[in-house]
Amino acid sequence: MSYYKQAMAERSQQNGRKNCFIRRAHAQLSLFVRRVDFTPLLLIFGAAVLYAVLCAICQRDAIGASGYNTYTLQALAWREGRMSLGHDYPHLELAIFNNDWWVSFPPVPSIPLYFLSFFFGSNTPDHLLVKLYVLFGCLFAYGMLRRARYDKLSAAAFSLLCSYATGLIALSMEGAVWFQAQTMAFMLTMGSLYFMYRGVYTPSLFLYALAVGCRPFNAVYGLVLFVMWLERALKEKRSMKREILCLIPGVTLGLCVAFAYGWYNYVRFGNPLEFGHNHLPEFSFQGGVQFSLHHVMNNIRTFLLGAPFSYTDAGYEINKFGFSMFIVHPVFVVMLLLFIVDLCRKRLSFTKAAIIVAFAAQLFCLLLHRTFGGYQFGARYTCDLLPYAALYFALPGRIRRMTIPEALLLMASLGFAIYGACTVLL
C-alpha cells in the first residue's frame, strides 16, 4: 500500500471513531430527554403566564406585599420577642384578649414570613407566596398522578382540575392573611398525600401536622393517611411491627409540632386549643356564634345549592358572597360520580371509603361556620377539600387517562375560574 493510501485509511478510521462517539453521545442525550419529564416546567411556565396576564388585566401587584398582612406583623413581633401585636390594626381581624391585640389565626404561615422579613422587612412578597403555594400544590398532585401511571398529559390535566380550575386562582390573586393560610394548607396537604402515596411516612406526617397549623379542620385528613398506611401494609403483607416502627419518627415529629401549637395557644390565651378566633369582637362580645348547627341549613342553601348569578337592576351579576361549591369546584362532581361507579361495581377500597367519609365530615365541620368565608368567589372554605379529589383519582379503579367529557369540563371550569378571579377581587 502506498503512503498516500495508508494515510487516507488511517484518517478514515479516526473519523469513524469520532462519528461513533458523536452518535453515542447523541443517543444518550436523546434517551435522557425522553426519560426526563419536562411537564412540571411547562406547568410552571403556564402558571407564570396566567398570573402575568391576570395581574395586568386586573392591575394588581403580582409579587408585592398585601395590605392584609397579619402574618407579617406576627413575624415582626416574633423578631422583637413578642407574641402580641401591641396595638390595634382596625382593618385586620385581630383577637382582643387581656387588653392586647393578637393574631387570630393558626401560626404556621408566619414561619416563612419570619425568615423573609430579614430580607424584605414589612414588605414581604405576600402576593407571590400564595401563587407559589398553589403552584407547588399542583405539582404535588401531578407527581402523585404520574406515580399512579397516568400519562403526562392526563396527569397535568387532572392536576389542573384539582388546582387552577377551581376557586384557588381567585385566592392566589391576593396575598391576604386568609388566603395565605388556605393556599399554604392546600400545598402542605397535597404534599402530605403525595409522600404517603409513595410510602414515605415521615415527611408525609410532618407536612400534615404543618397543614393543621394553617387550617385546623385539615386534621380530618389524618383518617385518610392512617387508612392509606394500613391498607398498604395489609395489601403487601408487610410486617406490622416493622411498619409501626417506620411510623414512629413521623408520628413523633407530628406530635412535637402539635405540642408546639398547644404551648403557643396556652401562653397566649390560656387554652391549648384556642388560637384566637373566639376572641374576635364579633364572637367574644358582639353576640355572634362562630360554630353552630343553626348555620348549617343557610350554608347548605348557599354553598351547596346556591346559583352563581342573581338578577339585579343592572342585570345578571355574580354572587360575590358565595354559591355552590360544585359549580366553582366541578372536580367534586367527578369524584362523587367515580365513587358511585366504584360502589356499584364493588371496587370500593378502604382508602376510597375513607376519602368520602373524611370529605363529608370536614364539609360538615365547615358548614357549621357562620360566614363560610365572606366576600369570595364561590365557596372559599371548600378549597380545603380539593386534595381529597386528587388522591381519589390516583387510586386504582379508573382508566389512567382523562376522557373527552372530563377535558371539556376542565376547559369550562378553568375559564370560569379565570373569570371569577377577574370579577371577585378582595
Q: Is the pLDDT of residue 367 over 90?
A: yes
Task: For residue 101, list its beta bridge partners.
Answer: 96
For the residues 52-62, what does the mean pLDDT come to? 94
Burial classification of residue 223, based on how many CB atoms lie within 10 Å of its CB (0-12 exposed, 13-18 middle, 19 or more buried): middle
**How does DSSP classify residue 376?**
B
Q: Is the pLDDT of residue 34 over 80?
A: no
The whole-angstrom separation of Cα 414 and Cα 330 is 10
Per the document, the length of the chain is 426
**How does DSSP classify residue 97?**
E
Q: Do the bridges between strand 94-97 and strand 309-312 make them parallel or antiparallel, or are there none, so unpaired?
A: unpaired
CA distances from residue 109 to 18, 61, 75, 172 in whole angstroms, order as listed = 57, 20, 9, 14
Q: What is the distance, to the nearest Å, from the Cα of residue 37 to the centroid of all Cα atoms in its chain?
A: 22
Quick: pLDDT tens for 318-330. 999 999 999 999 9
Percent residues over pLDDT 90 in the chain: 77
Q: Is the pLDDT of residue 285 over 80?
A: no
Least confident window among 82-86, 233-237, 367-371, 402-406: 233-237
CA distances from residue 68 to 90, 123, 346 in whole angstroms, order as listed = 11, 12, 49
Buried b (16+ CB within 10 A) or exposed e, 168-183: bbbbbbbbbbbbbbbb
Q: Is the pLDDT of residue 18 over 80?
A: no
272 with 266: CB under 8 angstroms? yes
C-alpha cell at 94: 385581630
C-alpha cell at 61: 401587584
The whole-angstrom separation of Cα 149 and Cα 276 is 44
Q: Which residue has the higher pLDDT, 131 or 285?
A: 131
Quick: pLDDT tens for 176-211. 999 999 999 999 999 999 999 999 999 999 999 999
Cell 397535597: give the residue. 190
The whole-angstrom separation of Cα 217 and Cα 219 is 5
pTM: 0.91
Terminal alpha carbon distance of the chain: 88
Say what the pLDDT of residue 13 is.
Answer: 61
The whole-angstrom separation of Cα 247 and Cα 386 is 26
For the residues 205-218, what does the mean pLDDT come to? 97
User: What is the band of 14 on the pLDDT scale with cuts at 50, 70, 90?
Assistant: low
Among 63, 78, 151, residue whose Cα is nearest residue 110: 78
Q: What is the distance, to the nearest Å, from the Cα of residue 255 to the centroid of all Cα atoms in its chain?
A: 22
Say what the pLDDT of residue 19 is.
Answer: 59
Among 53, 55, 68, 62, residue whose Cα is nearest residue 375: 68
Q: Which helix (H) or strand (E) holds 310?
A: strand 309-312
Q: Is the pLDDT of residue 51 over 70?
A: yes
Q: Do the bridges between strand 315-318 and strand 309-312 make them parallel or antiparallel, or are there none, so unpaired?
A: antiparallel
Quick: pLDDT tens for 124-172. 999 999 999 999 999 999 999 999 999 999 999 999 999 999 999 999 9
Which residues, other chains included, contact 284 with Cβ-Cβ below 8 Å and sequence gap of 6+? 95, 96, 278
Q: Which residue has the higher pLDDT, 192 or 25?
A: 192
Q: Is the pLDDT of residue 257 over 60?
A: yes
Burial classification of residue 287, based on how many CB atoms lie within 10 Å of its CB (0-12 exposed, 13-18 middle, 19 or more buried): exposed
Say what the pLDDT of residue 314 is.
Answer: 78
Q: Is the pLDDT of residue 113 over 60?
A: yes
Say what the pLDDT of residue 316 is.
Answer: 87
**Which amino acid, residue 280?**
L
219 with 257: CB under 8 angstroms? no
User: What is the band of 238 on the pLDDT scale with cuts at 50, 70, 90?
Assistant: confident
For the residues 332-348, what does the mean pLDDT come to? 95
C-alpha cell at 186: 392546600
User: What is the band of 419 on the pLDDT scale with cuts at 50, 70, 90?
Assistant: very high
